[in-house]
Amino acid sequence: MTQRTLFRFFSAGLFCLLIIGGCDSSDPNGGNEEEEIPIEAARSIDVSINTNEGRQAISPYIYGSNQELSSTDAFTVRRIGGNRLTGYNWENDYSNAGEDWMHSSDIFLLNNSGLTESSAQSAVVMTNFHDQSIAMGAESIITLQMAGYVAADKNGNVSAGQTAPSFRWKQVAFTKNAPFDTQPDRTDDTVYMDEFVQFMVNRYGSASSETGVQWYSLDNEPGLWASTHPRIYPEQLKVTDLVDRSIELALAVKAVDPDAKIVGPALYGFAAYETLQGAPDWEQEQTGKWFIEYYLDKMREAEQTHGMRLLDVLDVHWYPEARGDNRITLNDGTETTKDALARLQAPRTLWDASYVEDSWIGQWKQAFLPLIPTLHESIESYYPGTKLGITEYNYGAGNSISGGLAQVDVLGVFGTSDIHLATLWRLNGEHRYASSAFKLFRDYDGQGSVYGNTAVLVDLADKETFSVYASIHDDNDEQLHIMVVNKHMEDATAFTFNTESSTSYSEADIWFFDQRSPLVQQASSQSISGSAFTYTVPAQTAMHFVLK
């Protein structure tokens, strides 16, 4: 066993965190030493890692987002979704804001993408988005329109008297039942979804090609249509209507691109999971313990009827309700220490049956928690083989250390919990720490190096104060990745890592970010002798060890 002591070196208000031996000249925060302060480990903990046990594939598609966080993002999947997409007209690139902004029909999506309106080309918003995905080596999730109507014009506020059907809207049809046009007819009153899929296939190839669209999402948060888009769908959605629309639209997509994957139903939160937001026909139609099981069962029946899978990924959105002094997803500058502490624990609701968060969900919905195992149980019971996605989530404070640590923790949970798709939804403000959380997994050294794609067994006694995840690449344990989160607000901790592996590791390279800076930085390498080594991790720090 070897152990080294960490020191802080301060220079011009900056620092580098290194093992004794001097500051790496390549470190952007390196410089002359002004003072030297040893970091004493106030506590210690043992971590056991076995690379031969608990092996589980980590989906490459958990490292995704709906929006950019920085200019150097290395996302593997990108989703274009949100409330704006429900009323998006692909033929003219107009969309409707619904309750988010005066029910305005306009060119917001174009403007938001830095684009201009085109009279010659359709779906510029979508092609620009997918072009960006291709350029960064990411896959795309494209949202399709299922509520029934999309913006006909860009003329601003739609009044209650102009609720669909009216001249302010174009009707959505899932199938054209006629030859597709290379460029759609903007003069008719209908927008066709299968024609849009064909448009994308013509331009990029099918989903089986290198550049094709992999996933299509069945609209966005349908349980809220009556409140977010009352000019499009003013009545509370029925569960039967949602299922019928989902099947019809999925069939239309698969008829054009059989290899495309269908993602749905994009439920916004717990009330939608449970009863589709109090759907008027839920009680008479109920199957299973919540709406999710009803939906899965109906999509399974649809596969039996039509001879093809029409739901590939069960998709939910998750914005934690956990509270400190405030709900942790609030991002209005009022964060307190209690908020930060609650945020650091909140990822446990995803997987830990021993944890009860301070929220109405923690108080009243324990039968459905922890969330991810319950979702997997529903899938196994009602539609085996369906993958699980969380295409909107955020734990708040993306520009603070607590938000960064929570994001690292969540990505670790996704990797060990058989999540197939995950895309962060950016809340207001900067997300520098959240961005660094992704970089710690996807580009920790600035050279494109990534965390492993196979999770391995980790045994850790204190899961409240610390999180530890480990991985290898495929089935090769010559390189072992260990991701550590020290959630303690004040105490540095000496981690003793005991590794059981067919490989003898002699050195660990180390990258980290902490409460002083969101920049991912490199510490000096750690020598390893034998199967164990000890390393002191400062408080409020995320650290990536690469053993080789």
Report which of 298, 279, 278 is spatially closest to residue 288, judged by C-alpha positions: 298
Cβ burial, residue 295 (10 Å; 0-12/13-18/19+): buried
Cβ burial, residue 384 (10 Å; 0-12/13-18/19+): exposed
Helix axes 401-416, 432-442, angle to 10 degrees: 40
283 within 8 A of 239, measured Cβ to Cβ:
no
The pairing of beta strand 387-393 with beta strand 313-318: parallel
> Which residues are CB-neighbours of 2 under 8 A, at least 6 positions away?
526, 527, 528, 529, 533, 534
In angstroms, how far is CA 259 from the centroid of its own chain?
A: 23
Of 91, 139, 221, 293, the catalytic one is: 221
Q: Which residues in 359-440 belong to E strands, given as ranges?
A: 387-393, 421-424
Any catalytic annotation for residue 221?
yes
For residues 545 and 543, give the distance between their C-alpha atoms in angstroms, rounded to a whole number.
6
- SS3 category, 83: helix
> CA quadruple 44, 488, 16, 453: dihedral positive or negative?
positive
In this structure, which amino acid lies at residue 413? V
390 within 8 A of 350, measured Cβ to Cβ:
no
- SS3 category, 521: strand
169 within 8 A of 232, measured Cβ to Cβ:
yes
472 within 8 A of 419, measured Cβ to Cβ:
no
Q: What is the largest CA-CA distance in the chain?
A: 76
Positions marked catalytic: 221
